[in-house]
Amino acid sequence: MYDLNRQKGVALITVLLVVAILSWVVSYFIGKTQQNIELAGLQKDRVMAEIQADSLVDELMFLHYSKQYAQDEKYEGWNYRGQEFEFADGATVKFQDTQGKLSVINLNELIFKRFLFANGFDDREVSRFVDCLADWQDADSLKRLDGEEETYYLELGLPQPRNTKAQSITELKLICGFPEDEHKRAMILKNFNLYSSGAFNPLFADVSLIKAAKLPQDRKQMLMEMARSGRVKEAQRLFGINQSDMSLTTLQLSRDIELQIIVNNNTAQARRNIVFSYNLRYKPRPILQYWRWSE
């Protein structure tokens, strides 16, 4: 009788072990299946977001060149001043006319200095940064009064000056004289692009850069207030006129436009940062072209 009970106990333990192992195996495969389902869902969301982002590039370029955005009230937020607006469900868009920023390559030093002074930089900071930027891009090894050349960077273990035109906006962070204050750093990077083919136009600029515009003070103040509130149509009414003090300030778009698209689809996000441009002199290249903008 004792042996029989012992055998039953062993059999029970064996069955329990087998059931436990089978339960663990089933739970494991159920968990893996759920993970695969979730991963497939994430991949689907990602693919759909990427497809929508690519589709929006074409749609927005068509609306830009056809000017249909000006005829439909649903595009009320459309602007070329770098102010983000919602274009569709889950999709936000930001246009920036390049003439509303300063260009690193063909820098207008006069406007650049006025911009720095107007935003809290002192004489020493302005002179230092302007000279350092010039030394970074010029071809010679002659140091300007407040600039630096190769020796300075080598001693600090930093990349040497390029001694030619800058290739990215982030190069500004490597240049001597670039401010340490985070607010000033962000403000400079926000108001620069690598290259602009047109003259600076404050109507497409950020408030911090409008301060550097050579405009009557009352007009400048009015423009800054409209920029803060996004009253683009009012700006067109007030500034789209032919007056001696405003003759060079119009809402004529340049041929180089920066475009940023952000598409959110559930947990997935797709981004597009491009510049599109047209130039009738491009031969045999296409009249209309766009390229990725890495920064």
Q: How do residues 9-31 score in pLDDT, each as one tens digit?
A: 667 777 778 788 888 888 887 87
For range 185-191, the mean pLDDT = 94
CA–CA distance, 177 with 190 (Å, rounded to integer): 17
pLDDT at 283 over 70: no
CATH of domain 104-191: 1.10.40.60
Average pLDDT, the chain: 83
pLDDT at 284 over 50: no
Q: Where is pLDDT greater, at 212 or 288?
A: 212
Strand order in the sheet with 288-292: 85-88, 91-97, 256-265, 268-278, 288-292
Q: Which residues, 6 or more positions from 198, have their beta carbon under 8 angstroms from its beta carbon?
A: 98, 99, 254, 255, 256
Rounded to the nearest 5°, which phi and psi values hold at 11? -65, -40
pLDDT of residue 269: 94
Q: How do residues 230-246 score in pLDDT, each as one tens digit?
A: 665 566 555 554 333 33
The alpha carbon dihedral of 146, 148, 153, 159 has a sign of positive
Tokens found for residue 2: 């004792």
Which amino acid appears at position 142 of this protein?
L
Check if the beta carbon of residue 51 is closer than 8 Å to that of residue 268: no
For range 152-175, the mean pLDDT = 91
Q: Where is pLDDT greater, at 179 or 35?
A: 179
pLDDT of residue 241: 42
CA–CA distance, 291 with 278 (Å, rounded to integer): 12
Strands 102-103 and 288-292: unpaired
For range 251-261, the mean pLDDT = 86
Range(s) within the chain of domains with CATH label 1.10.40.60: 104-191
Strands 288-292 and 192-193: unpaired
pLDDT of residue 177: 93
CA–CA distance, 98 with 290 (Å, rounded to integer): 14
pLDDT at 250 over 70: no
pLDDT of residue 3: 61
